[in-house]
Structure 1
Amino acid sequence: MAASGSKRPGFSRRARFGLFVGYVVAITGALIGLGLVLIAIFDPQGFASIRGATADVTAPVSASGRSAVQSGGRIDNYVANWWNAGQQNAELRAELRVARRRLIQARATELENSRLRALVGLLEGQSEPIATARLVNSSLTSARRTATLFAGRDRGVLPGQPVRAADGLVGRIIDSGNSASRVLLLTDRSNIVPVKLARDGTPAFTSGRGDGRVEVHSLEAGRRPFREGDILITSGTGGIYPPNIPVAVILDVFGDSALAAPFANPGSLDFAIVQPVYEPPENESTTNPDGAANPRESGSDSPETP
C-alpha cells in the first residue's frame, strides 16, 4: 500500500526555511509595533525622538523621490510646451500671411483711392471730361508707343482727344472702337506737343524718342533757354492739348535742345482722363507769333490785287 502524502507545506529544506523566516518577520513586526504602541503610551517624548530619527533617515529618500517625480513632471511640461509652441508658431505664421495679404490689399486700395482723389481734384474747375477709364496696357517694344484705354465711342471717346493723368500729359486718342481706344503716347516719335517753360513761358515743342524720353526744341533760334530741372507744361498753341498740363522735366541740355522725362508713366498708371479737344481763343488763333493777322483766319486766301 502506497504511503500517504504528508500534510506539511513541503519536504524541501528551502521551503521550510522560508516559512520559518516568514513567521519570524511577522512575529518581530508585531513585537516592534506593540513596543512602539507601549512607548507612545507610556513615554511620549521617547516616541517623538523615534519619529524624529525615522524622519531623518527617510527624508533624503523622500527628497530624491520627489526630485525624480518633479523632474519627470518638468520633462512632460517641456514636451507639452514644445508641442504647443510648434502649433502656436504654425498658427501665427498663418495669421501673419493673412495679415500681410490684407496689408497689401489695403495699400493697393489706398494707392488707388489717392490716385482717384488726385483725378477728382484735377477735374475741379476744368471743362467736363469726356471719360475717365483704365489704361489696360502699353507697348514697350513695338515701333510705335501706344496704350489701350478701356473706353470707346460708347462713352464719347473720339480720335484727336487729349489724354492725361494726375501726373501729367499721356498723349492723344488715335483710334477708337466701341468700348476701347488706342492712345498715341507722348514718347512716340510722331507725337509733337507744343510746350512752354513753366519758369518763364519760353515756347518750345517736344517730340518722342521711342525709348520713354522726349526731345525738347526751342522755338527761339540762337537761344539756350533750357536748364536741368526745368518743368515743361503744355502751351495750348495750335489746339488739341489744353494749356498748363505738366508734360516733362528736363534732364540734360544740348545747346538749344534738351532731353526730358515725362511726368506720366503709362506703365504705372491705373486711370486716365479723356478731355475735349482744346480750342484756343479766337484772338490767339487769328494772330501769328509776330502779332499780325493770319490772312486765312481773316477770310482772305490771297493778297488783294491792286
Structure 2
Amino acid sequence: MAPPGNRRPGYSRRAHNNIFFAYVAAAVGTVVGGALLFGSMGNTGNFASLRNLASDVTQPAAQLTAQGRSAAGGAWGVAAGYFTSGPENARLKKEVALGRVQAVELAAVKQENERLKAMLGLTSDTPKPIAFGWLVASTSASARRYATISVGSLQGIKSGMPVRTDQGLIGRVLEVGLHSARVLMITDPESVVPVRRASDSIPAFATGKGDGTLQLRLLTLGINPLKVGDAFVTSGSGGLYWPGTPIAVVSSLTRDGAIARVLGDPAVSEMVAVLPAWAPGDDPTLPPPADPVKAKADADAAAKAAAKADAQAKATAAKAAKQKAAQ
C-alpha cells in the first residue's frame, strides 16, 4: 500500500530542519528571480555587463565549437564528393573555361573604371574593416535575433558598428565585451535598415520579421514596381550602414513591398568583418560641409545686394513715371 501524501516527518529534528530550509530556499529563489525579471523588463541594459562577462567566459568554448562544426562539415563534404567527383569534375572544367573569359572581361572593366576614377579625381569608398572575427553563436529558437562574434573592445569594436560577411550585411554591434560582442541581426523585429533597389535606387525600409527574412516597405505608395529576384543594397540614409552593401533578394511580393531573403546568412557564415560606422561626411565623393560663419556672411551679402537692386529698380521706375507724366 502506498504511503499517504500528507505524511509527516515525525519528531526528527533533522527532517524538520531540511523541510524548513527547503521552503526558505524556494522563497528566496522566487523573490530573487522575480526581482531580476522585473528589473530586466524595466531596463534591458541593467544586465548588459553580466551578459558581456558571460560572453567573454564562454567565447573560447563557443569558438572551438564553431571550428568543430566547420571541420565536421568539411569532412562530410569530402565523403560526399567521393561519390560525385566525376560529374562535378566535368562541370568544374566548363566553369573554369567560362571563368577565364569572364576574368579577362573583368580585368578590362576594372582598368577602365580605375582610369575614369583617376580622371574624375575620385577614390575608392570601400571602408577598411576594424577587425575580423568568428561568428561563434546565433539565436535560432527565440523571436529575437542576436549573434555573438569573437572580437570585442580590445580589438577596437564599439557599439553601433555594422557587421557583414562576404555575402552581405548581417547586423550591427549592440553590446561590447573585452573579447566578444553581441550583434543585433537585420532579421530581428527591432532592426530597420534604409535600403534601395540596386538597379534603379528605389528607396525602401528593410525590417526584420524574426523568421530569417526581411519585410521590404516602399517609401512611395502606388503600383508595386518590385519583382522576384530584385537585389537590394543599403542606401546609407541616416548613417551607420555603408551605402552599397548587399543585404537581400526579393523572394515574394506583398501589397506595399516584398518579402526578401537575406544574403548574409549566419547559418552558412563563419568569418565576419566589423566596419566603422558610416556618416555622410565619410564619403570622399561628397563636397565638404559649408562653414557656418562664411555661409551666414554670404547670406547677408546676398540679402544686401538684393535690397540694393530692389531699391535701384524702384528708383528707375519712379524716374520713368515722372518723365512720362512730364510729357
TM-score, L = length of structure 1: 0.52
Matches within 5 A, 1:68-147: 104=75, 126-147=126-147
- Point out the structure with max Rg over C-alpha: 1
Q: Deviations over 1:107-149 (max 9, x none)?
A: 69xxxxxxxxxxxxxxx97222111000001001123100000
Q: CA deviation at 1:214?
A: 0.6
What SS class does the counterpart of residue 126 from structure 2 fall into? coil
- The aligned counterpart of 1:197 is 197
- The aligned counterpart of 2:254 is 254
**RMSD between superposed Cα atoms in Å:** 3.1
Q: Deviations over 1:194-241 (max 9, x none)?
A: 000011110111000000011000011224121111000001111000
Matches within 5 A, 1:1-306: 104=75, 126-281=126-281
Q: What is the CA–CA distance in structure 2 between the aligned matches of 1:163 and 1:139, rounded to whole Å?
A: 16
Q: What is the CA–CA distance in structure 2 between the aligned matches of 1:221 and 1:282, rounded to whole Å?
A: 32
Q: What is the CA–CA distance in structure 2 between the aligned matches of 1:125 and 1:238, rounded to whole Å?
A: 17
Q: What is the CA–CA distance in structure 2 between the aligned matches of 1:181 and 1:199, rounded to whole Å?
A: 34
Q: CA deviation at 1:104?
A: 2.9
Q: What is the CA–CA distance in structure 1 between the aligned matches of 2:195 and 2:225, rounded to whole Å?
A: 13
**Contact in 2 for aligned 1:164/1:273 (Cα 8 Å):** yes
Relative to structure 1, the CA distance from residue 106 to residue 210 in structure 2 (aligned partners, 3 Å threshold; closer, same or farther) is closer
**Contact in 2 for aligned 1:226/1:256 (Cα 8 Å):** no
Q: What is the CA–CA distance in structure 1 between the aligned matches of 2:143 and 2:230, rounded to whole Å?
A: 29
Q: What is the CA–CA distance in structure 2 between the aligned matches of 1:281 and 1:106, rounded to whole Å?
A: 46
What SS class does the counterpart of residue 151 from structure 1 fall into? coil
Task: Name the aligned partner's letter for residue 104 of structure 1.
Answer: A
Relative to structure 1, the CA distance from residue 238 to residue 270 in structure 2 (aligned partners, 3 Å threshold; closer, same or farther) is same
Q: CA deviation at 1:257?
A: 1.3
Q: CA deviation at 1:171?
A: 0.3
Task: Name the aligned partner's letter for residue 189 of structure 1.
Answer: P
Q: CA deviation at 1:275?
A: 0.2
Percent of counterpart pairs with the same letter?
Answer: 37
**Contact in 2 for aligned 1:159/1:174 (Cα 8 Å):** yes
Which structure 1 residue ranges, 4+ long, deviate > 6 Å from structure 2?
A: none
Task: Name the aligned partner's letter for residue 168 of structure 1.
Answer: G
**Contact in 1 for aligned 2:143/2:211 (Cα 8 Å):** no
What SS class does the counterpart of residue 281 from structure 1 fall into? helix
Relative to structure 1, the CA distance from residue 282 to residue 168 in structure 2 (aligned partners, 3 Å threshold; closer, same or farther) is closer
- The aligned counterpart of 1:302 is none
Q: CA deviation at 1:267?
A: 1.5
Relative to structure 1, the CA distance from residue 222 to residue 241 in structure 2 (aligned partners, 3 Å threshold; closer, same or farther) is same
Structure 1: stretches of 5+ with no match in the other structure: 1-100, 109-123, 287-297, 300-306
TM-score, L = length of structure 2: 0.49
Q: Deviations over 1:37-74 (max 9, x none)?
A: xxxxxxxxxxxxxxxxxxxxxxxxxxxxxxxxxxxxxx
Q: What is the CA–CA distance in structure 2 between the aligned matches of 1:262 and 1:128, rounded to whole Å?
A: 23
Q: What is the CA–CA distance in structure 2 between the aligned matches of 1:260 and 1:236, rounded to whole Å?
A: 19
| Count of residues in correspondence between the two structures | 175
- The aligned counterpart of 1:120 is none
**Contact in 2 for aligned 1:234/1:244 (Cα 8 Å):** yes
**Contact in 2 for aligned 1:137/1:267 (Cα 8 Å):** no
What SS class does the counterpart of residue 220 from structure 1 fall into? coil
